Chains A and B, each alone.
Chain A
Amino acid sequence: MIKQNIYGGVRSFRDKIFALDFILIFFVLLLGIISIFAMYSTEQGKFGYYTQSHLYRFFIFFILFIIISFFRIQNWYKTAYLFYFVILILLFAVDLFGVVSSGSKRWINLFFINLQPSELMKISLIIFLARYYYKIPTENVANLKYIIAPLFAIFVPVLLVADQPDLGTAVLILVGGFAVIWLTGFKFKFFLYSFFILIFLMPLGISFLKPYQKSRILTFFDPERDALGAGYQIIQSKIALGSGGIFGKGFLQGSQSYLDYLPEKHTDFIFTLFSEEFGFVGSTTLLLVYVTIIYRITTIGRQSRNNFARLFCFGFASAFFAYVAVNMSMVLGLLPIVGAPLPIMSYGGSSMLSIMIGLGIVMSCKVYQDEEIN
């Protein structure tokens, strides 16, 4: 069956290879290589555990990304709901049998891998909504009948993830979901209303937050209030970034990370480490790599003949953007510190898997851009 999918259609395999977007592949590869060097730097220039497993993961998931590219877009359309529900079940399973690590229950032990379903939910929700809205005409989008299912599809996983607790991922899932709804042409005023409602509900929402989450938000407004406790991460991150200057301190020379002042440098603060070592020039270059990737995803979406692919690509591009923007804003002190990894750069298997699946689907949109969905 897989064989049939790959070789399906009238085109030869060779045509399909040429149909790949090599610019996107190049930049993903580039990002991967940068991330391996960054990881090497977090280990003070040793080819240690983190660097090794990051390298292996990137290698495996990159191949997966290419393989997924040849899956027919129609198969993604067909399996969209199944994919979503499998992940949702996994999320429930995390709640029941999850692995607790540093105070939160995010992982599920699948014997061969510790999976973080919330990361995969980021991508499956976008597919789910893309399929859901594919059939609904623009005029009917705001119809109450058609809004209930998407809202459930978004808020059930968001609440589950927020309860883990993992505020960062919950927010990113939410943003991805709303991005798709926005794209379908859902009336602007509804977004405005829900924004105001959100503002009004904020005090209520805050009362549900865990104490550490509250202190993170308070710390965001004034990091110095607890410089050695809750404010430590953001202060050290800003010191590392700011001391980088224009050209940075040089590869493997970032004293803040080298000397352990920078926390979570493998995961959420990898951009800080990169920026400390390569400065403003390096950071903007890295940002440019991300911009190019997002731009390519958007272009693929635009060139796509069916609206499922289009919705998915645009939705994924927006979500991808949100991941990058939230992570960078966080380490730059523009947003409170919530756990949000930087796509591909940050250490973490589930996050990379999710991104690579997303990129794979985007690529299959490119390969099969002229196909209709029946």
Chain B
Amino acid sequence: MLSFAETFQSKSKTISRRMFILSSLKAAIFIAIISRLFYLQISENIKWKTLSDKNRLREWRTVPQRGIIKDHFGKEIAKNTQVFQLHMIPEDVPNLESLFFRLSKIINFDKRTQNNLIKKLKKRKPWETIIVSDNLSWEEFSRLNLFLHEMQGIKPVVAVARKYLEDGSSSHILGYVSEVSVKDLETSSLLREINVPGLKTGKNGLEKSLNEGMIGQPGLQRFEVNAHGKRIKELKFIQGTPGKNYRTTLDIEVQKYAGELLKEKSGSICIMDIYTGDIVAMVSSPTFDANKFVHGISTKDWQDLIKNEKKPLINKSIAGLYPPGSTIKPLVALSALENDVISPNTLRECRGSIELYGHKYHCWKEKGHGVVNLREAIKQSCDIYFYEVARRLGVDRLAITANKFGLGSGVLNILNEERTGLVPSTEWKMKNIGKGWVLGETLLAGIGQGYYQVTPLQLCLMSAQLANGGYKIKPKIIHDEQTSQLNQDVTDEIFKQLYRNKENVKFVLDAQYGATNEPMGTSYRSRHVKSEYIFAGKTGTSQTRTITAEERKLKLKQKDLPYKRRDHALFTAFAPYKNPQYAISIVIEHGGTGSSTAAPIAKKIIKKVLDRHKLRKKYQTDLFQEV
């Protein structure tokens, strides 16, 4: 039996020994903890630092300011203006339903928009701002501000949005911008790269063609945010780059006037500078308000647009195809003269109709024109004479001249809705229809019917290239470095001589003078008497159907026919006659005859253009000084 003291001693030793073992264990565990600290804080530091920054920093990209489109005089025709918007931060809204109810009393906020918004909300992070309404009226905006203190999580914002001229005369050329769609993202890598909420992209017209230049580069705002997504402070701000501005060749005053002249009609007016190729005006009617598309067009408005039989969404100036009718006659005459198949003195008797190849061909004038020479045939637009010209010329030689003067190919090649039209030839028919050419079709080609299909802008270009003495020009709608460079570099292409004998061109122009300014001329009633406005032009009436023998007997007036079956009225002209500057083409769909409908419009618009000529030239020199 051990003594108490010995027991104490041994026990004390046991405890100390056990403590030593325990202390070693503790040391081992502390070393493990230090190793772990070392591993996390030193070895893996970069990884965790990155994650910490990812937590802490959040970047917002700001919508870049879109470039502005100006007219020839520097007037903004597609600009950025202030709009009033309502933004909402979902996580700050205590009760969405009651907020929506409240809002529906204050602003225009119906059930459907609400549901759309709820759908959108599900896909977003709760701290991301969502746009409730992007275009509030001033009344709505001020009312909202009045009741603002009663609602949480919403924020009235003054933002920037695209604004177009309200009259719509330039809607087709400019197109419009709208929200970036999935399809836009699929087709454009630029958009994929820079897409930010609220970014608008060009959907049509120049807005689409010049989109890449105009859209700009988004800015960047880097914030430190807390765990609840609240922005604590701004750490970095990179200003976005605004998009490039573009200056067009358009004269917005002429555009507006042309738009007014075409009101209630369906058709197009094109005006071109015959030397520079600048498009002064290009209007298609009926038109639409491009502003409606910017903030999302309503279903009703959209239905109205697509159901309208006059097709307001189509840019008829470049995408509308029409038989040129008699407006092609100067070109046919020129072609024939150039190919020496006729001379100005060739005579032909017109009795109102002629039998050829077993068919009866009519002149527009039932009684006939009597014996006419080439000048009279152009002036009075005698079909019988031109059947003969076409017969001698043949369709293929005509096609060569037509192609030279700009028919059958794109004029601007910048707007993707532009169509090329059709210049038929024997080869074309064989290739595309698989049948041989029929001589009767040559006759129809001679009066611009049959297979011939042109856009109003092509007619304008044809007329311009005749009016400038027969030289090739490159039409353009944008003033930019590229085109001015083009002017210098490709001089052999531009101003290339399109004729063989200058006298032939002169003859054709003189014949058009006759058509407008001499009695019996087809557009005599629309002539200007004041010498500075005197112009020369050629009317055209293109049939949209074959006139049957019965109809001919009934002598149906155009206005008695159903709208869709009425003829298209066309007119091409250049002005002033002495020292010409501008070419013009007018097409009025189902408008009756060229002389009764199209030519009077030409008279008015030509006066307008010539009145502004001096001013325009002044700005033109400015441009060249700039470059």
Asked if A242 and B26 make an inter-chain contact with CB atoms under 8 angstroms apart, the answer reads: no
B37 touches A241 (CB 8 A): yes
Contact B37–A185 (Cβ < 8 Å): no
Q: Are B40 and A241 in contact (CB under 8 A)?
A: yes
Q: Among A242, A260, A307, A318, which residue has its beta carbon within 8 angstroms of that of B226?
A: A260
A residues in contact (CB < 8 Å) with B:
137-138, 179, 182-185, 236, 238-246, 255-256, 258-261, 275, 279-280, 283-284, 287, 291, 294, 298, 301-302, 307, 310-311, 314, 318, 321, 325, 328-329, 332-334
Contact A259 B33 (CB under 8 A): no
For chain B residues 16-41, which have a beta carbon within 8 Å of chain A? 16, 18-19, 22-23, 26, 29-30, 32-34, 36-38, 40-41
B102 at the interface (CB under 8 A from A): no
Which of A243, A245, A259, A280 has the most chain B CB atoms closer than 10 A to its own CB?
A243
Known: A287-B33, A325-B33, A332-B36. A243 touches B49 (CB 8 A): yes
Given contacts A259-B225, A275-B41, contact A239 B48 (CB under 8 A): yes
Other A-B pairs beyond A242-B41, A245-B41, 4, CB < 8 Å: A184-B18, A236-B55, A280-B37, A307-B8
Chain A residues within 8 Å of B228, by CB: 260
How far apart sit A138 and B7, CA to CA, in the bound complex (Å)? 8
Q: Is B239 at the interface (CB under 8 A from chain A)?
A: no
Given A256-B55, A284-B37, do A183 and B42 touch, yes or no (CB 8 Å)?
no
Q: How distant is B220 from chain A, measured CB to nearest CB, in Å?
A: 20
Q: In the bound complex, how far is the Cα of B16 from the Cα of A185, in angstroms? A: 10
A243 touches B52 (CB 8 A): yes
B224, A185: Cβ atoms under 8 Å?
A: no
Q: Smallest CB–CB gap between B29 and chain A, Å?
A: 5
Per a CB cutoff under 8 Å, which of A259, A275, A287 touches B227?
A259
Contact B51 A243 (CB under 8 A): yes
Q: For B48, give its contact among A242, A311, A325, A332 (CB under 8 Å).
A: A242
- B10 sits at the interface (CB 8 A): yes
Contact between B52 and A307 (Cβ–Cβ < 8 Å)? no
Are A138 and B11 in contact, with the CB atoms below 8 A?
yes
Residues from chain A with a CB closer than 8 A to the CB of B12 are 307, 310
Decide if B113 is an interface residue (CB 8 Å cutoff).
no
> Are the CB atoms of B48 and A138 closer together than 8 Å?
no
15 CB-based A-B contacts, threshold 8 Å: A182-B18, A183-B18, A238-B40, A246-B42, A255-B224, A259-B232, A260-B226, A261-B227, A280-B37, A284-B37, A307-B12, A310-B16, A311-B15, A314-B18, A333-B36
Q: How far is A11 from B209 in the complex, measured between Cα atoms in Å? A: 101
Contact of A239 among B32, B36, B52 (CB under 8 A): B52
Would B45 and A243 count as touching, CB distance under 8 A?
yes
Question: Is B565 at the interface (CB under 8 A from chain A)?
Answer: no
- Complex alpha-carbon distance, A64 and B16, angstroms: 29
The yes or no answer to B260 lying at the interface (CB within 8 A) is: no
Let me know if B15 and A185 touch, CB within 8 A: yes
Specify which chain B residues have a CB less than 8 angstroms from the CB of A241 in the assembled complex: 37, 40-41, 48
Residues of chain B within 8 A of A328, CB atoms compared = 33
Is B19 within 8 A of A301, CB to CB?
A: yes
Contact B41 A302 (CB under 8 A): no
Contact between chains at B47 and A259 (CB < 8 Å):
no
Verify if B427 is at the interface (C-beta below 8 Å from A).
no
Nearest first, the 9 A-B pairs at minimum CB distance are: A242-B48, A243-B52, A185-B14, A260-B227, A259-B226, A280-B41, A242-B40, A243-B49, A243-B48
Instruction: Please give me the residue from chain A that is nearest to B34 by CB atom.
Output: A284
Distance in Å: Cβ of A73 to nearest Cβ of chain B: 16
- The answer to whether A294 and B26 touch across the interface, beta carbons within 8 angstroms, is yes
B14–A184 contact, CB under 8 A? yes
In the bound assembly, the distance between CA atoms of A348 and B38 in angstroms comes to 29
Instruction: Name the distance in Å between A147's Cβ and chain B's nearest Cβ.
Output: 16
Give the chain B neighbours of A255 by CB distance below 8 A.
52, 55-56, 224
Q: Cβ of B44 < 8 Å from any Cβ of A?
A: yes
From A138, A179, A242, contact of B10 by CB (8 A): A138
Contact A287 B30, CB 8 Å, known A241-B41, A298-B23: yes
Q: Which residues of A contact B18 (CB under 8 A)?
A: 182-185, 314
**Considering the chains assembled together, what is the distance between the CA atoms of A256 and B40 in angstroms?**
15
Contacts A259-B226, A314-B22, A329-B33; is A246 near B41 (CB within 8 Å)?
A: yes
Q: How far is the CB of B419 from chain A (nearest CB, A)?
A: 56
Q: Are A298 and B41 in contact, with the CB atoms below 8 A?
A: no
Report chain A residues within 8 Å CB of B53.
243
Question: A301 to B18, alpha carbons, bound, how many Å?
Answer: 13
Distance in Å: Cβ of A179 to nearest Cβ of chain B: 7
A237 nearest CB neighbor, chain B only:
B40
A185 close to B22 (CB less than 8 A): no
Residues of B within 8 A of A280 (CB): 37-38, 41-42
A185–B11 touching, CB < 8 Å: yes
Whole-angstrom CA separation of A287 from B55 in the bound complex: 28
Is B15 a contact partner of A325 (Cβ separation < 8 A)? Answer: no
Cβ contact of A183, chosen from B15, B30, B52, B224, cutoff 8 A: B15
B11 x A239 contact (CB < 8 A)? no
B33/A291 in contact, CB under 8 A: no
* A139–B272 CA distance with the chains assembled, in angstroms: 118
CA distance A36 to B12 in the complex (A): 39
* Residue pair A334, B33 in contact (C-beta under 8 Å): yes
- By beta carbon, the residue of chain B nearest A311 is B15
CB neighbours of A314 from chain B (8 A): 15, 18-19, 22
**How far is it, in angstroms, between the C-alpha of A137 and the C-alpha of B49 when the chains are bound?**
56
Provide the residues of chain B in CB contact with A284, threshold 8 Å. 34, 37
Q: Are B41 and A325 in contact (CB under 8 A)?
A: no
In the complex, A333→B228 CA distance in Å? 24
Interface centre among B7, B11, B226, B232 (most CB of A within 10 A): B11
List residues of chain B with CB within 8 A of the CB of A245: 41-42, 45, 49
Distance to closest chain B CB from A19 (angstroms): 21
User: Which residues on the B side are within 8 Å of A182 (C-beta)?
Assistant: 18, 22
Known A138-B11, A183-B19, A287-B30: A259·B56 in contact at CB below 8 Å: yes
* Docked-complex contact A318 and B26, CB < 8 angstroms: yes
Contacts of B47 in A (CB 8 A): 242
- Which residues of chain A come closer than 8 Å to B36, judged between CB atoms? 329, 332-334
Q: Are B55 and A325 in contact (CB under 8 A)?
A: no
Count chain A CB atoms within 10 A of each CB in B7, B26, B47, B225 and give the residue with the most. Answer: B26
Q: What separation, in Å, do the CA atoms of A294 and B224 have in the docked complex?
A: 41
Binary contact track B226-263/A, C-beta < 8 Å → 1, others 0: 11100010000000000000000000000000000000
Q: Which residues of A contact B232 (CB under 8 A)?
A: 259
For A235, give the chain B residue with the smallest CB separation.
B51
Which residue on A lies nearest to B4, using beta carbons?
A137
Across-interface contacts of A246 in B (CB, < 8 A): 41-42, 45
By CB atoms of chain A within 10 A, which of B33, B40, B228 has the most?
B40
CB-defined contacts of B11 to chain A, threshold 8 Å:
137-138, 185, 307
Determine the distance from Cα of A294 to Cα of B22 in the docked complex, in whole angstroms.
12
Q: Which residue of A lies closest to B27 (CB)?
A: A291
- Which residue of A has the minimal Cβ distance to B12? A307
Return A89 CB to nearest CB of chain B, in Å: 30
Q: How far is the CB of A300 from chain B (nearest CB, A)?
A: 12
State A50–B49 Cα separation when bound (angstroms).
28
Query: Could you say which residues of chain B place their CB within 8 Å of the CB of A258?
Result: 226
Provided the pairs A182-B18, A255-B56 are in contact, do residues A242 and B49 lie with their beta carbons within 8 angstroms? Answer: yes
Q: How far is the CB of B45 from chain A (nearest CB, A)?
A: 5
Q: How far is the CA of A287 from the CA of B16 in the complex (A)?
A: 24
In the complex, chain A residues whose CB is within 8 Å of the CB of B49: 242-243, 245
